[in-house]
Amino acid sequence: MPPSSSAPRRSLLGVFGHPDDESLLAGGVLAQHAAAGAATAVVTATWAPDSHRAGELVDALDILGAGRPRMLGFADARIPDSAPGRPRLCDAPLEEVAGLIVEHIRAVRPQVVVTHDAYARDQDTVVQDLCATAALTALGDEEACEGVLPPLLSARNPRTRAAGVTALRRAGRSKQAEPFLSDRSALVRACARYVVRQQGGDPAAWYRERCSAPDDPELSPGAVIGLAECGNRADASLLWPLLVHPAAGVRARAVAGLRALDCVDAKQLWPLLDDPAAGVVRETAAALLPSAKELPAERLLERTSSEQPRHVRVGAFRLLDARGGIVALRAAVGLFEDPDIELRTWAGQSVQRWHPSPDGRRGDAEVGELLDRSRHLFSDHVLRRRKWEAGVDS
């Protein structure tokens, strides 16, 4: 995220959680820019400046050409002794950490800030959010606005994009929040709706205008689910035509929107259980779960055949499993020979959880046969117990 482009020399700042992150995550980038003559620097959020890791960091930065260590001195989430007497980074006040990062941003005036990506899972990788907060703090410098907002708004991390969208209001650019009403992230869409409403706009009307053209190939899936998030049940009339839209993402979001508006019609959604897109079938199965017992069992069982695509088999079995009773047992045992190992595992777990339905017919010989085919999943005692529950001979 580039807070400034005013520096005469190209510059790059790395902000990372721990010593060695700069080498593992961005060593090539830092070294390449340094070799090309750019000024590079690294901020490291955890470990004390007098720890043994600080010495390792000095050596690493020397090799990368990134100058002296800039250590904030917070404790590593998993190693409290990494900075005795200091809070863990993940426990430290956001404003305090962001303020420290701002000091380095203002000192280095980087054109680019490199940090963790959105999918890092360490507790201390709040660093990307902190970078966003620090960059927003820099909005107090009028000349920094142009450099800060674009990278925030284009970040992969939805929380970073959301911070950028919210900052548009602070920067007096609320109109620029409208395109984010259809962002792929629910968080970003919610922030965009807030900003648009603050300037007197109506997000629901914006969504309705876009969803009123069911054949529009440019229609965004985010606009479809956004309508459901802030609309009402009457808006279902705009979502139903989208079930046949050429884009799978739009079809899937239309189903999700109908479910959110509590406007599910099993008869109209049924054909989507055969949709070629896995996401559409997944959303359709989720929407039909509450009415699983009313769906035609035999037609669902047909969809668990190995001749069907995997996502179709998964969707059908999900509904059969929710239905319970002998139908669920029959479907699960039938999948023991499925070519997909995950589906076979799921089927085995379903059989292990299975119990006769209270309203089911006791003494059904088919139940005994199905349980016998599943004996490898049970101890002798549990198998006898299941048969006794079903009223069949052990």
- Quick check: is 166 in a domain? no
8-12, 56-60, 140-144: range with lowest mean pLDDT: 140-144
Domain boundary among 105, 129, 156: 156
Q: Please check the confidence at residue 394 and state whether its pLDDT lies above 70.
A: no
- Tell me how many domains the chain contains: 2
Please, which pLDDT band fits residue 11 given cuts at 50, 70 and 90?
confident
* Contact call for residues 304 and 320 (beta carbons, < 8 A): yes
pLDDT tens sequence across 62-77: 999 999 999 999 999 8
Cβ-in-10-Å burial (0-12, 13-18, 19+) of 146 comes to middle
- Quick check: is 176 in a domain? no
Domain boundary among 135, 156, 177: 156
Amino acid letter, residue 13: L
Q: What gap in Å lies between CA 266 and CA 119, rounded to an integer?
A: 36
* Contact call for residues 333 and 373 (beta carbons, < 8 A): yes
Higher per-residue confidence, 163 vs 310: 310
Structure tokens at 157: 């991390």
Q: Please check the confidence at residue 120 and state whether its pLDDT lies above 70.
A: no
3-state secondary structure at position 40: strand
13-17, 144-148, 178-182, 184-188: range with lowest mean pLDDT: 144-148
pTM: 0.71
- Could you tell me if 152 and 297 lie in one domain? no
* Contact call for residues 114 and 161 (beta carbons, < 8 A): no
pLDDT tens sequence across 220-236: 999 999 999 999 999 99
Q: Please check the confidence at residue 383 and state whether its pLDDT lies above 90.
A: yes
Q: Please check the confidence at residue 1 and state whether its pLDDT lies above 80.
A: no
* Contact call for residues 141 and 149 (beta carbons, < 8 A): no
3-state secondary structure at position 71: strand
Average pLDDT in the chain: 88
End-to-end Cα separation, the chain, in angstroms = 68
- Quick check: is 311 in a domain? yes
Higher per-residue confidence, 127 vs 290: 290
- Per-residue DSSP letter, 361: P
pLDDT at 142: 53
pLDDT at 3: 46
pLDDT at 358: 82
Domain boundary among 133, 156, 179: 156
Q: What gap in Å lies between CA 319 and CA 285, rounded to an integer?
A: 7
Edge-to-edge strand order for the sheet containing 39-46?
Answer: 70-74, 39-46, 11-16, 112-114
pLDDT tens sequence across 15-51: 898 999 999 988 999 999 999 999 999 999 999 999 9
Pick the closest to residue 210 from 179, 248, 256, 186 (CA basis).
179
- Quick check: is 58 in a domain? yes
pLDDT at 127: 56
Q: Please check the confidence at residue 339 and state whether its pLDDT lies above 50.
A: yes
Higher per-residue confidence, 6 vs 170: 170
pLDDT at 160: 79
> Could you give the percent of the chain with pLDDT greater than 90?
68
Residue with token string 């046949």: 244
Structure tokens at 217: 């190939």
- Quick check: is 222 in a domain? no
pLDDT at 171: 79
What number of other Cβ atoms are within 10 A of residue 232's Cβ?
Answer: 10
Pick the closest to residue 260 from 314, 201, 189, 191 (CA basis).
189
- Quick check: is 191 in a domain? no
Please, which pLDDT band fits residue 130 given cuts at 50, 70 and 90?
low
Please, which pLDDT band fits residue 119 given cuts at 50, 70 and 90?
very low
Helix axes 278-288, 310-323, angle to 10 degrees: 10
pLDDT at 348: 97
Domain span at residue 73 reads 1-156
Cβ-in-10-Å burial (0-12, 13-18, 19+) of 246 comes to exposed
- Quick check: is 333 in a domain? yes
Q: What gap in Å lies between CA 394 and CA 305, rounded to an integer?
A: 30
Q: Output the domain CATH number for residue 115.
A: 3.40.50.10320
- Quick check: is 354 in a domain? yes
Residue with token string 């007098």: 50
Chain center to CA of 189: 14
Pure H helices in the chain: 21-35, 52-64, 94-108, 127-137, 145-153, 158-170, 186-198, 203-211, 221-230, 236-239, 248-260, 266-269, 278-288, 297-302, 310-323, 325-334, 341-353, 365-373, 380-390
pLDDT at 113: 77
